[in-house]
Amino acid sequence: MEKNASILVVDDDKEIADLVEIYLVNDGYQVLKASDGEQCLQTLKEHPEVRMLILDIMMPGIDGLEVCREIRKTSNIRFLFCQRRQKIWIRLSDLERERMIILRNRSIH
């Protein structure tokens, strides 16, 4: 993905979203944030330039997997899922085929 691309960070934990934003901005990306699934869907409608989503799996209301299913109806945007409780990152490149790559991240506690 090209530098300066827009990435939407979605997490109900503001501290986590802020931390991810710092790393992405320092690496040259434009960052938008949403605190839940509904806000995520609305932000995507308002910002079609978003090229990737980084979102929490477990959120109140619409969870990350349901957000992904809804977006997949109209878009092939890339997703990076994070789940802090299990200390794993899940990348879903193709939800319809249920292909997942699970990456362990020991730096998140």
- pLDDT, tens only, 84-107: 655 444 444 444 444 344 444 444
- pLDDT, tens only, 50-59: 999 998 888 8
5 in Cβ contact with 30 (< 8 Å): yes
pLDDT value at residue 53: 93
Q: What is the band of 31 on the pLDDT scale with cuts at 50, 70, 90?
A: very high
Helix (H) or strand (E) holding 44: helix 37-46
Q: Which two tokens stand for residue 3?
A: 């530098």
pTM of the model: 0.77
